[in-house]
Amino acid sequence: MTFTLAIILAGIVMIALNAYVLLAGADFGGGVWDFFARGDRRQAQRDLISHAIAPIWEANHVWLILVIVLLFTCFPAAFSTIAILLHIPLTLMLLGIVLRGSAFIFRSYGSERDTAQQRWGRVFAIASIATPVLLGMCVGAVATGAIGATAVSRSGSFVSQFIDPWLTMFGVGVGLLALALFSFLAAVYLTVEAEGTELQEDFRTRALWAAGAVFVIAFGVLALSWTEAPMVRQMLMAGPWALPLHIVTGIAAITAIAALWTRHFRLARVAAAAQVTFILWGWAAAQYPYLLPPTLTIEAAAAPNRTLVLILWALAAGACVLLPSLYYLFRVFKMQRRS
């Protein structure tokens, strides 16, 4: 593997997607736990979630915008194909994003009347569940090669072009996996946020359940890949990175569960994030060197070199502003309990 400009930028797209999954993914997961808030401490659970999400969700959200902007600037050919064929799930996902964000802010700033609050809470929770599933389905559609293999033509039928590529069992499986992973991340993060209260135990239990769900769904998806995504399966089983990646993913998963079990929550947080990261990069490695398997490679989809070079400079300059600011944000809001 040679590090061309296109490969480096594809890597940066993956890093941004990774950040989105780790940060915003947990915000979505928070919405899931808002939906499943149960028991005497129902309201306390919701308050904790909302308190944890409020200062950071908008900043987390921008990672997705970065992914999109980088895709259309650096890989315009792939972007336009994705935008045409995944029009429907992406539009639904957008609806989910709009409703979730607005519902959250309306709930925080809305009237004190309980009914209105509850209604927005419902919208927030349901949109938080639907959006990750749709995101996962889009990823699944790319991974199976359905997007890369479908040629758009005026003569093709609507269903075969705009529905079939993404509405598959495998796609649904990946969608559910995304949902389970996001819920797992959120529950683990919340155990740290809830330090020293009964809530911590609530979210510990939830995190363990979610870990179980991740495990079951992940194997289900792998089984489905036998028939539906043979190329991905082959690389996942036999590619040059397959074994080491499986080993580190496994270690991270076991560490996360063990740390939750023994109540080492900070360690669990690191391990859970690592586990999700390895799963994501496993997918990327499995379809390398294709951006849209089975035809479009990263190199072939890339924009002219001049654009890529400039974008790299812009990213470097942006990072100089962004990373310190982001560090500051998280230091102000996420490290206060140490004192």
Partner 1 sequence: MGMSLAFHILFAVVGIGMPALMVIAEHRWRRTGDAGYLELAKRWSRGTAILFAVGAVSGTVLSFELGLLWPEFMKQAGPLVGMPFSLEGFAFFTEAIFLGVYLYGWDRISPRAHVIAGVLVAVSGALSGIFVVIANAWMNTPRGFTLIDGKFTNVNPIAAMMTPAAFPQTLHMTLAAYAATGFAVAGIHAAMLLRDPRNAFHRRALSVALLVGAPAALVQPLAGDIEARYVARQQPAKLAAMEGLFQTTRGAPLSIGGIPNENERRTRFAIEIPHGLSLLAFHELDAEVKGLDAFPRDEWPPVAIVHLAFDTMVGLGSFMALVSAAVLILLWRKRDIISLRWILIAVVLCGPMGFLCIEAGWTVTEVGRQPWVIYGILRTADAVTPMPGLIVPFLTFTALYCFLGIIVVLLLYQQVLRSPREGETFPHQTDAA
When asked if residue 166 is in the footprint of partner 1 (CB under 8 A), the reply is no
The residue (of 39 and 338) whose beta carbon lies closer to partner 1 is 338
Neighbour-count burial of 23, counting CB atoms closer than 10 A to its CB (0-12 exposed, 13-18 middle, 19+ buried): buried
CA 45 to chain centroid, in Å, comes to: 23
Residues with Cβ within 8 Å of residue 25, at least 6 apart in sequence: 132, 178, 181, 182, 185, 186, 276
DSSP 278-337: HHHHHHHHHHTTEEETTTEEHHHHPPPHHHHHHHHHHHHHHHHHHHHHHHHHHHHHHSGG
Q: Identify the residue among 20, 33, 104, 166 touching partner 1 (CB under 8 A).
A: 104
When asked if residue 137 is in the footprint of partner 1 (CB under 8 A), the reply is no
When asked if residue 152 is in the footprint of partner 1 (CB under 8 A), the reply is yes
Residue whose structure tokens are 């690191």: 270
Question: What is the nearest approach in angstroms of partner 1 to the Cβ of residue 50?
Answer: 12
Question: What is the nearest approach in angstroms of partner 1 to the Cβ of residue 200?
Answer: 22
Rounded to whole angstroms, what are the CA distances from 302 to 5, 73, 186, 280, 286?
9, 9, 35, 22, 19
The one-character DSSP state at 152 is: P
Measure the CA–CA gap between 218 and 174, rounded to whole angstroms: 8
When asked if residue 237 is in the footprint of partner 1 (CB under 8 A), the reply is no
When asked if residue 196 is in the footprint of partner 1 (CB under 8 A), the reply is no
The residue (of 19 and 253) whose beta carbon lies closer to partner 1 is 19
When asked if residue 69 is in the footprint of partner 1 (CB under 8 A), the reply is yes
Amino acid present at 296: L
The residue (of 263 and 331) whose beta carbon lies closer to partner 1 is 331
Q: Identify the residue among 82, 221, 235, 259 touching partner 1 (CB under 8 A).
A: 82
The residue (of 248 and 315) whose beta carbon lies closer to partner 1 is 315
Question: What is the nearest approach in angstroms of partner 1 to the Cβ of residue 44?
Answer: 19
When asked if residue 95 is in the footprint of partner 1 (CB under 8 A), the reply is yes
Measure the CA–CA gap between 92 and 127, rounded to whole angstroms: 10
When asked if residue 56 is in the footprint of partner 1 (CB under 8 A), the reply is yes
Closest CA to 261 of 273, 246, 271: 271
Which positions touch partner 1 (CB under 8 A)?
Answer: 54-56, 58-59, 61-62, 64-66, 68-70, 72-74, 76-77, 79-84, 87, 90-91, 94-95, 97-99, 101-102, 104-106, 109-111, 152, 154, 158, 161-162, 303-304, 306-307, 310-311, 314-315, 317-318, 321-322, 325-326, 328-329, 332-333, 336
